[in-house]
């Protein structure tokens, strides 16, 4: 498995995106791809071949354990590149890996390529205003931006096992509280209705949820709605520090359009913005704009949709 491209993520859906990124690098370099699993092989994870690391416990809940297990395996197998999904845990795993292996680390890559003996990544910089091109020499670690690659499907190859010995986390879980969780993966949604600070109170999100339901779409939001106010779970947060989406239709409702948010939805096919401020930056990123109060515009849209169904 020398000179191979490894992929790993604590999230199953993201693992398949990272595997797709690994396959692109492998095709360009004539290497093989290896999807790394820890403890047990999870259903739904695709790859051309798998490396199952046995010995550790609580691997997917502990970046500390995952990083140690993968680093032990990497010291034996010498992969050329280790790609990690840029989830909250994944970013920590990659940083720990880079330190343990004493290699460079590229973060939040949206595109990966090889130039000579360098791994090169394209990533958003300055809140999505520019695309930076950065590189590090092989061997290397990189995190793959969630939503940057189309998930790999199929290709369930053989599995090799490697015992890396017991790995226990120094962190102990003292209490667990279940948070409200969305039921729709926004990265797969064809239509997204996204709420911004123009929404006056949490209960008013129901207006936008109803519109999203009638359009067969999903409800998203800008950072203040999830991170600052806590009105929606973090998985609804679209933007540079949230998720990246590419729906057929993105309806931005009451969103000012700061660069941080635009970076997460700028590749949508059609963007429609609703805002009371005619000079709001979101109109610069929109294909169509409506200057008006969302509390008047959204019901009008719902009425128009209802008339089409009658």
User: Can you give the pLDDT at residue 305?
Assistant: 85
- Six token digits for residue 239: 């933007």
Q: 218 forms bridges with which residues in the sheet?
A: 192
CATH homologous superfamily of 5-163 equals HUPs (3.40.50.620)
Two domains, one topology: 5-163 and 186-309: yes
Percent of the chain with pLDDT over 70: 90
Closest to 247 in 3D by CA, of 298, 188, 302, 190: 190
Mean pLDDT of 173-182: 59
- Inform me whether the pLDDT recorded for 151 exceeds 60: yes
- Judge if the upstream peptide bond of residue 139 is cis by omega within 30 degrees of 0: yes
Summarize pLDDT for 64-90 with one digit per residue, the tens.
Answer: 889 999 999 999 999 999 999 988 889
Residue 85 phi, psi (nearest 5): -65, 135
The answer to whether the predicted template modeling score (pTM) of the entire model surpasses 0.85 is no
Domain layout of the chain by residue ranges: 5-163, 186-309
Cα–Cα distance for residue pair 35/159, rounded to 1 Å: 9
- Inform me whether the pLDDT recorded for 252 exceeds 90: yes
- Inform me whether the pLDDT recorded for 230 exceeds 70: yes
State whether CATH 2.60.120.590 applies to domain 186-309: no
Q: Three-class SS of residue 255?
A: coil
pLDDT band at 206 (very low <50, low <70, confident <90, very high): very high
């Amino acid at each position: 498995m020398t000179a191979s491209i490894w992929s790993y993520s604590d999230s199953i859906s993201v693992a398949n995106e990272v595997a797709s990124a690994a396959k692109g690098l492998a095709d360009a370099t004539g290497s093989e791809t290896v999807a790394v699993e820890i403890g047990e092989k999870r259903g739904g994870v695709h790859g051309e071949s798998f490396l199952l690391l046995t010995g550790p416990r609580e691997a997917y809940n502990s970046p500390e354990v995952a990083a140690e297990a993968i680093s032990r395996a990497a010291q034996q197998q010498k992969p050329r590149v280790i790609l990690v999904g840029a989830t909250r845990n994944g970013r920590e795993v990659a940083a720990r890996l880079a330190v343990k292996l004493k290699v460079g680390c590229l973060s939040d890559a949206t595109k990966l390529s090889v130039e000579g003996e360098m791994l090169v990544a394209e990533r958003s910089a300055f809140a999505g205003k520019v695309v930076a091109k950065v590189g590090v020499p092989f061997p290397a670690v990189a995190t793959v931006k969630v939503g940057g690659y189309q998930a790999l499907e199929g290709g369930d190859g053989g599995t090799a096992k490697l015992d890396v010995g017991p790995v226990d986390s120094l962190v102990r879980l003292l209490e667990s509280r279940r948070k409200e969780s969305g039921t729709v993966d926004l990265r797969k949604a064809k239509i997204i209705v996204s709420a911004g600070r123009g929404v006056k109170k949490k209960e008013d999100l129901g207006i936008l949820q109803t519109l999203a339901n009638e359009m067969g779409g999903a409800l998203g939001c800008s950072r203040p709605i999830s991170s600052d106010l806590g009105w929606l779970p973090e998985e609804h947060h679209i933007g540079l520090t949230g998720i990246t989406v590419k729906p057929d239709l993105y309806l931005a409702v009451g969103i000012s359009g700061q660069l941080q948010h635009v970076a997460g939805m700028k590749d949508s096919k059609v963007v429609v913005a609703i805002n009371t401020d005619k000079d709001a930056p979101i109109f610069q990123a929109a294909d169509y704009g409506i200057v008006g109060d969302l509390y008047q515009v959204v019901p009008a849209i719902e009425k128009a949709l209802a008339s089409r169904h009658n």
